[in-house]
Amino acid sequence: MIRIIAVSIALLAATPAFALEDAEYSKAMSATAKGAIIPAYQAFGDAAEALQGGLDALCRSPSDAALTDAQSRFATAAAAWARVQYISFGPVAEHQGGFRVEYWPDKRNVVGRQLAELLAKPDEAALEPARFATTTVGVQGLPALERLLFTGDALAKLQPVDQDAAFRCKLFAAIGNNLATIAQAIVAGWSDGDASFLARIEHPSEEDAEIPNGRAAAGRLLNDLLTTVIAMRDMKLLAPLGSSLEKAKPQAAEYWRSGQSIAVLTANLEGSRAMFDGDGGLGALLAAQPDGKAVADQVRAAAEQASQALAAITLPLDQAAADAAQRKQVEAFAAQLVVLRDLLAGPVTTTLNLPIGFNALDGD
């Protein structure tokens, strides 16, 4: 689980002499929501539904081909989620939506322990949708599903016609349905009706504690984009790298069982770039300010260099962390993320006059 704790809210640099109109922030946020955030959640919903279908097919006719197909759909869903993984505001914050989709990092093996307990004492009533949605987050989402799909005996555990295999399939169905339901609720919360989160952004009210004005909404987005970059480096790269080659911790890599660590990092970066630099979004607002174009160009260049550095990592991250040559590529990518982090936290924040919280990412 990732806890984002706002220790204090303050500008990271001096406020510029000019002031943006609040409507400008709202317009940029509306464009970002329509062009990047809502489509990303919709894509995750589509991927979750496709995954649900693949799990159902695997259970109806267990085979190597069906397992491979379900694993491929899992990879697609994990990458789709990663594009919005660190968005902390809006409907995803309701009912622990983000934690229920992905409880990670899991330093205490909560997912493993809770999954083992559930499988050891099968209780079909616990898998009913309403009850399952309120059970421990460790068994509700992608990490639990990864453990079920990416073990050497995954197929063997489904092939006997017995109660254990039947319960495992019902658990597959429960997780798949849960992921699709969460996605549907998030999309609906963003876009349905006059009380939707999109409507609140487009027509902010001082009575709205979360989004009292457009500037607050834009600040939340920039804060989450900064959080994404920090989490990618500090949690997703430095943790498996360890302090040295000899002290690498390959199993600290996200999705190491399924080999999706690099794909998910790629999606994190791509999602952030889309949210920052989409038509009419924060990047465009930044470029329209005095001296802002130079800053916007620097952000784009840093993001592109980070993307190229990531592409140079040719092994799965858990293997790359323990490989002398590839480890250097991981470190190079981490260094590029620092450049991007410092641009977002400094010149971007100052030029856009946005409040940014000092975030602590505490994986527990």
Single out the residue of 332, 281, 254 nearest to residue 75, CA to CA: 254
Q: Is 93 helix (H, G, I), strand (E, B) or coil?
A: helix
Domain of residue 188 covers 33-196
Q: Give yes or no: residues 333 and 224 share one domain.
A: yes
Q: Say what the pLDDT of residue 356 is.
A: 81
**Distance, first Cα to last Cα, the chain:** 6
Which of 147, 174, 196 corresponds to the end of one domain?
A: 196
DSSP 239-264: HHH-SSSTT--GGGSTTTTTT-HHHH
Q: Where are the alpha helices (DSSP H) in 192-316?
A: 197-202, 214-231, 238-241, 261-277, 282-287, 292-311
Question: Looking at the 3D structure of the chain, how many domains does it have?
Answer: 2
**C-alpha neighbours within 13 Å on the C-beta side of residue 321:** 24
Q: Give yes or no: residues 236 and 218 share one domain.
A: yes
Q: Give yes or no: residues 21 and 55 share one domain.
A: no
Which of 196, 231, 258 corresponds to the end of one domain?
A: 196
Q: Give yes or no: residues 167 and 315 share one domain.
A: no
What percentage of the chain has pLDDT greater than the value 70?
A: 93
Q: Say what the pLDDT of residue 358 is.
A: 54
Single out the residue of 364, 172, 143, 341 nearest to residue 261, CA to CA: 143
Q: Give yes or no: residues 15 and 61 share one domain.
A: no
Q: Give yes or no: residues 99 and 232 share one domain.
A: no
Q: Give yes or no: residues 92 and 22 share one domain.
A: no
Which of 196, 213, 248 corresponds to the end of one domain?
A: 196
Q: Give yes or no: residues 278 and 355 share one domain.
A: yes
Residue 87 φ/ψ, nearest 5 degrees: -70, 120
Q: Where are the alpha helices (DSSP H) in the chain?
A: 22-32, 38-60, 64-82, 97-101, 110-120, 129-132, 142-149, 163-191, 197-202, 214-231, 238-241, 261-277, 282-287, 292-311, 317-321, 324-343, 349-352
| Cis amide leading into 105 (omega within 30) | yes
CA–CA separation, 121 and 205 (whole Å): 50
Q: Give yes or no: residues 48 and 184 share one domain.
A: yes
Q: Which contacts qualify for 201-209: CB closer than 8 Å, 24 or more apart?
A: 201/26, 201/29, 201/30, 201/33, 202/26, 202/30, 203/26, 204/22, 204/26
The model's pLDDT over 100-115, given as tens digits with 9 standing for 90+, comes to 999 999 999 999 999 9
Residue 8 φ/ψ, nearest 5 degrees: -160, 155
pTM of the model: 0.94
Q: Give yes or no: residues 52 and 159 share one domain.
A: yes
Residues in the chain, pLDDT under 70: 1-18, 358-364
Q: Give yes or no: residues 84 and 226 share one domain.
A: no
Single out the residue of 72, 81, 80 nearest to residue 51, CA to CA: 72
Q: Give yes or no: residues 246 and 154 share one domain.
A: no
CATH number, residue 84: 1.20.1420.20
357: which strand partners?
A: 9
Q: Is 132 helix (H, G, I), strand (E, B) or coil?
A: helix
